[in-house]
Structure 1
């Protein structure tokens, strides 16, 4: 079921973890905890090396599909042809509308209608202006900005970066390779970009970190903890109750101050609406008045609530229709005597469109969700492989070992790791499991 299971030693990674219903060094949440066995460091390095090698090998193979060479394009040349522009316009409209406060209003025009403003125009409210399809849009270099000055200094460069990431997530590699053939492509300079000193340095790689976190978390459960997702599992052993899973969900679907593009495919797969999780809001437990827990600051709810409580720890869960839901409503309208075309117009006007992929909502490892899960894992893997290809073409060396180590630390880090780093002996009752 897990993608690349035959090439990546998930069993080696999983053998160094233990499922615990209470982890004192992680806010008493349930979840996975390292065993800290004598061979753990060597085995984790073996896992990281194998993962990195597999990405490189797949990038080599994938690159062979695009053998055409690209000369150095002129900055005035069109980098995105009409076909590509039509493909990414819906996604572009979405992330631009989410940042209309800084990027300006966006017209709600048909998805297949392209911008025809030949020159930059202040009145243009097209989701993908014609001028931003040119090569020059991808040549802006990132420079550090003072607080509250980022969009004043980098609006055009930011849009170029987001279009670049949109192309990568849609797999438009021919276009990306053409862009990266320019010696002044700006993507490498954006790798560690940040809005200001108050925010993480992830503006150029948030899409990759989200894909990596989700890919690791789901495959760990799939390969090494089948009892956590098997039919009839106990609530205490449910993978969705764990700290690692809830933290991953919050991270890959939560509202971001800088860019929300990186969350879109993950929100759709996990069935999480925009605004369900917000890093700038406190947590609470609204499910029952009997609980007095309040979560704020470093005291997080991950692994301390059931998944249903976790979903509503900031706001009530919105209903997100699936493809079958939308088709059923259209059928009902047609049964009332409306033509199919009119029924579709009504659905479009009501913004009633598919927003989740899973047949069984909020349980991606459910057996009935296997097909969509495999598609999602493949998507996450391809994001990693495409990133390696693009990095090579742009003259970058992707730091996969660092990226993997950081992802593992985000998902599984706890306070006893810090004790070990300071040379303090571990608590036998806490760390050394039989």
Structure 2
């Protein structure tokens, strides 16, 4: 265990750049490995999950090399030309790598074994196995559709039209990636919109992708097979989920005025910015631009008097990972914030509703826990009391970082029981917080 007490601070000032977006980093490596020629990627998130994707593409014939910090060069093999890996593809803890790579391999005439760590091996892959089996892939999984599993691709695979029974960007992406090497048109029907990084990047690499929106909001996404992908130069935008902690910190620490550079503002991911603005948060977009089909801006954040609101449950999918940070903002707002429709938070790295409720109450916040959300009664800008003992983060990095931010806006600080999970997802987090803190607060 690595406990640490995050103490109150003076105003947060300065400029920071958060790590690259994980979802986009995975897809950049995969699609570069399927393009013929050399792609260059900058701003790649070099966490263990993305490195698992890089190792897998290398095992299937692509040249994937690191050329500097966040800078990578990839020589691709071309759609249809993946080689059979000689050893099992070790996925670590990365569900994204597993599900997307299963899709890629499903339409190639090769066989691959997928293995993962203890945590990933508990997660069922049935949602991906179902559509890929319809396309002709053969999957032998462990009991319950879990890892380790062996996938034998089909050549030629069969194009399908698949309606997602549960909203999932990973399942959607797996089917679209399988469609790249499948003759004809492969279609995914999405009743609830999910993050659309795959569609944007597939288009950017030259695949033929169409997105039609029906009157009821259903999205019909099609990809034409035997695509020829062209190499690209990709700058990965900053991860909005990592930026979230600094946006909230800037809003709740008095006197703060900071800039978070190069933040991805994809509308399927930027719900938190919308909600914080609705609460009265001052978040200005500076130098808005488009990079690789993704909207990006520098965000200037200033300390603001926040007001409680009722958060529209329809926004939940676009900010599902940011709710722990939002709960901290709500605890310091004027009035009550109501969140509902968050059942999914109970099955993340921890039960984020109950863990955040317990942690915030320990720090002096007033709230009630609902079955599918929290009702938080804010302190009207008064600092939270702070914690006496350490709060349990249940090895969940987002809980640890959210409560670190709560500590900055408390009287006596907030002690987090273990900061190690932060290092796996955002190693520079504590350094960046320290860099922004100006001076000790006047007592």
TM-score higher than 0.5 here? no
- Say which structure is richer in strand: 2
TM-score (norm 1): 0.32
Select the structure with the greater relative contact order (CA < 8 A; seq sep ≥ 6).
1
